[in-house]
Structure 1
Amino acid sequence: METQLAVIGGGPGGYAAAFLAADLGMDVVLVDREPRLGGVCLLRGCIPSKALLHVAKAMAETRALEQWGVRYGDPQVDLERMRRQKEKVIATLSGGLAQLARRRKVRLVRAKAVFEDSRTLRLEPAGDKPPKDRSVRFRHCVLASGSRPLQIPALATSSPRVMDSRMALELPEVPRSLLVVGGGYIGLELGTVYAALGTRVSVVEMTGGLLPGVDRDLVRPLQKRLEEQFEAIWLQTKVASLDAGRDHVSVTFEGKADPGMRRFDRVLVAVGREPDTEGLGLENTRVEVDSRGFVVVDLQGRTADPHILAIGDVAGQPMLAHKASHQGKVAVEALAGQPAEFNPRAIPAVVFTDPEIAWAGLTREQAQQQGRDVQVSPFPWAASGRAQAAGGTEGLTKWLIDPETQQVLGCGIVGPGAGDLISEAVLAIEMGAHVRDVARSHDEAARCRGCGYRDRCEQRLLAWRGDAKLSR
């Protein structure tokens, strides 16, 4: 089989690249090991987790109505029906992608792709049926193989009671107790789901705080809420040993908050993800890989091999589906001779816990690491009427502003709906907006929570510039 463009991986980056290339008139072959398009995001990541988090959010909001005098009975959870609904969502979206591929005449091949050289892929069986063709000869290839859960040898076991994120999303049962190893966004989101279903959830994190790398003032409201939702959170502590039995898992710990030996019905290992490059035959090409396993690329996704580009999780942090999609389009535009490069000012990130956390652009931690002077304008939601009425007073919005130019550099939000509110900040950062442009926007309902800092922000801005105090 011969083609202009071969794409390895059917996730958000891979199918975005394949679809755009076909729209631009290229002949495209997309090779993926999965029987359905969508990659980790759709099949066993973002979409199934958000579907289950929707259920958890609805249950939490129902309980919160008690303070308004509205009380429902205890929820009855039909786990099998929940699984079916989750699978229905996945099947609908994946089927839509397959239809889009057919309309564009993108050839889909279910196989494992291995580079034989810089212009040839060997196709190995990935399912019950071997592929019709044994190889693909290409002019260019976009590598979008994604990432996989990071494995810790000390926690490796074949017991089904020790799960990774993929197994946890299959909802094998609602365990009485669950230990989440890792305080990152994957562990906290899945812990939120299981806690809502009635599981006693404990989290162990080896660093000094949940969500390492996220600004502490954003994490604090979430950690306070999780301390109420979860049974325990042990920081600066790690798992020393793990012994999986037939009906429980015995775990010992070491560190500052060592709780001693504990037993759990199940353990979820969510300590991060790593690029999925194993077995791809990259050694048969000129592609370079860094010390962490990421493929080295430039701003167009080009590797050291002139015939191969790489995008998405395999090409470096942040490992986000929407970043992969954008990179895929940039890579194809570059191949088509268009002036394109991946150099965004703001890539939004959202943690769909309760409350949500979202941020974009420069963070306070990054500014400190860079020795960069920034003005931080925080607004606590406790001062917002909308937040008071909706019960989201623990929220916070903060903007990071260049003190010389008053340009918006970054934004962080914690509170209900933070994932929606961050979109306005992303637009402001990408456009290089002046803080006054955002401060004087109309305070309709959503912005009342997200941008209600207006008065304080304007006063600070005028003070920085030596102007008179804002009169009201």
Structure 2
Amino acid sequence: VYDALGSKISVVELADSLIPGADRDLIRPLHKRLEKRYEGIYVKTKVTALTAQKNGLKATFEGDNAPDPQVYDRVLVAVGRRPNGASIGADAAGVTVNERGFIPVDKQMRTNVAHIHAIGDIVGEPMLAHKATHEGKLAAEVIAGHKRAFDARTIPSVAYTDPEIAWMGLTETQAKAQGIEFEKASFPWAASGRALATARDEGMTKLLFDKSSKRLLGAGMVGPNAGELIAETVLALEMGADAEDIGLTIHPHPTLSETVFFAAEIAEGSITDLYMPKKR
């Protein structure tokens, strides 16, 4: 936003990549685009001091890619959020608040006090508005006497950057760490007619499938409107869809939604829109 308004921007990130929760191949197009626009992107770096001076705020850095001290007009600090369970007086009503400040709930959003429910960021990760909305509706239904419980198989995440990054289910990083056998199918937007027509072909759509059952395990995409595309893959995972189910579903052409379809065809070995060598 600030870059689009004409500000000169530098980003300092303590982790080894931007948006640590997403796979690195999804981050790469964003990083590449921002490198051309920003003054600097410093990963594996932290700010050790901010000193107010007459000419601005002097920042001192430490880390693998730390630059020399710099002076800025403004500094935006975004290092996460802290739950306020301990400060809202929940304990006065007998509600349990854990050591981190979260309020534990069950699958019906009940706290340890049966007639008190909690939803949203205060009940834990992921701290996302769409999760909170779902929890709020669920809690209202439970209070109204309906038999409901939180049973979502996945919750999508979207980084509203330019290009956008979206992912859901199992990430490739998580699958490797957990020793889960999977097959990856990635479709480059450089082969998408819609992406080429809009001159934004730097994106990619990636699907992860279980190696034996071919069921969808996770998905990730980077590119304009990636956040609009992720919902299809969430539904596919919720329904237990496999690569064939997605690959045999007719998608409108030319659209970015086709990239999900094409990735599934790559997994199936049936794609005709992109040359893919046969697997040995």
Query: TM over 0.5, yes or no?
Result: yes
Letter in 1 for 2:226: A
Of 158, 164, 189, 1:381 maps to 189
Q: Which segments of 5 or more consecutive residues in structure 1 lack a partner in the other structure?
A: 1-192, 462-468
| Structure with the bigger percentage of helix | 1
Question: Is 1:442 aligned with 2:250?
Answer: yes
Structure 1 distance, partners of 2:98, 2:207, is: 34
**Superposition map of 1:256-271 within 5 A:** 256-271=64-79
Q: CA deviation at 1:294?
A: 1.4
Q: CA deviation at 1:208?
A: 0.8
Q: Which segments of 5 or more consecutive residues in structure 2 lack a partner in the other structure?
A: 272-277
Show structure 1 runs of 4+ deviating over 6 A.
none
Query: Which residue of 2 is the match for residue 360 of structure 1?
Result: 168
Query: Which residue of 2 is the match for residue 250 of structure 1?
Result: 58
Secondary structure of 2:262's aligned partner: coil
Of 322, 326, 335, 2:130 maps to 322
Of 248, 263, 268, 1:458 maps to 268
Relative contact order (alpha carbons < 8 A, sep ≥ 6): 1 or 2 greater? 1
Q: CA deviation at 1:247?
A: 4.6
Structure 2 distance, partners of 1:405, 1:278, is: 45
Larger Rg: 1
Q: CA deviation at 1:355?
A: 0.6
Of 98, 113, 130, 1:305 maps to 113
What is the aligned length? 270
Q: CA deviation at 1:454?
A: 4.5
Structure 2 distance, partners of 1:308, 1:258, is: 48
Query: Which residue of 2 is the match for residue 204 of structure 1?
Result: 12
Change (3 A) 1:214 1:292: farther
Query: Which residue of 2 is the match for residue 218 of structure 1?
Result: 26
Q: CA deviation at 1:423?
A: 1.6
Of 411, 428, 434, 2:219 maps to 411
Change (3 A) 1:442 1:407: same
**1:358-384 residue CA offsets vs partner (Å, 9 max, x unmatched):** 111221122223322222111111222
**Superposition map of 1:75-114 within 5 A:** none
Structure 1 distance, partners of 2:130, 2:44, is: 32
Contact 1:413 1:450 in 2 (8 A): no
Secondary structure of 1:204's aligned partner: strand
Structure 2 distance, partners of 1:295, 1:265, is: 39
**Superposition map of 1:142-157 within 5 A:** none
**Superposition map of 1:21-170 within 5 A:** none
Query: Which residue of 1 is the match for residue 152 of structure 2?
Result: 344
Question: Is 1:426 aligned with 2:228?
Answer: no
Contact 1:443 1:452 in 2 (8 A): no
Structure 1 distance, partners of 2:270, 2:154, is: 24
Query: Which residue of 2 is the match for residue 118 of structure 1?
Result: none
Q: CA deviation at 1:432?
A: 1.3
Contact 1:401 1:407 in 2 (8 A): yes
Contact 1:394 1:415 in 2 (8 A): yes
**1:163-191 residue CA offsets vs partner (Å, 9 max, x unmatched):** xxxxxxxxxxxxxxxxxxxxxxxxxxxxx
Q: CA deviation at 1:278?
A: 4.2
Q: CA deviation at 1:275?
A: 1.6
**1:73-122 residue CA offsets vs partner (Å, 9 max, x unmatched):** xxxxxxxxxxxxxxxxxxxxxxxxxxxxxxxxxxxxxxxxxxxxxxxxxx
Contact 1:384 1:452 in 2 (8 A): no
Contact 1:241 1:253 in 2 (8 A): yes
Contact 1:360 1:422 in 2 (8 A): yes
**1:334-364 residue CA offsets vs partner (Å, 9 max, x unmatched):** 2222121112112121111111101112211
Q: CA deviation at 1:424?
A: 1.1
Letter in 1 for 2:14: M
Contact 1:386 1:449 in 2 (8 A): no
Contact 2:111 2:117 in 1 (8 A): yes
Structure 2 distance, partners of 1:460, 1:212, is: 33
Kindly report the root-mean-square deviation, in angstroms, between the aligned alpha carbons of the 2 structures. Answer: 1.9
TM-score (normalised: structure 1): 0.55
Secondary structure of 2:2's aligned partner: helix
**Superposition map of 1:179-198 within 5 A:** 193-198=1-6
Secondary structure of 1:421's aligned partner: helix
TM-score (normalised: structure 2): 0.90
Contact 1:360 1:426 in 2 (8 A): yes
Letter in 2 for 1:369: A
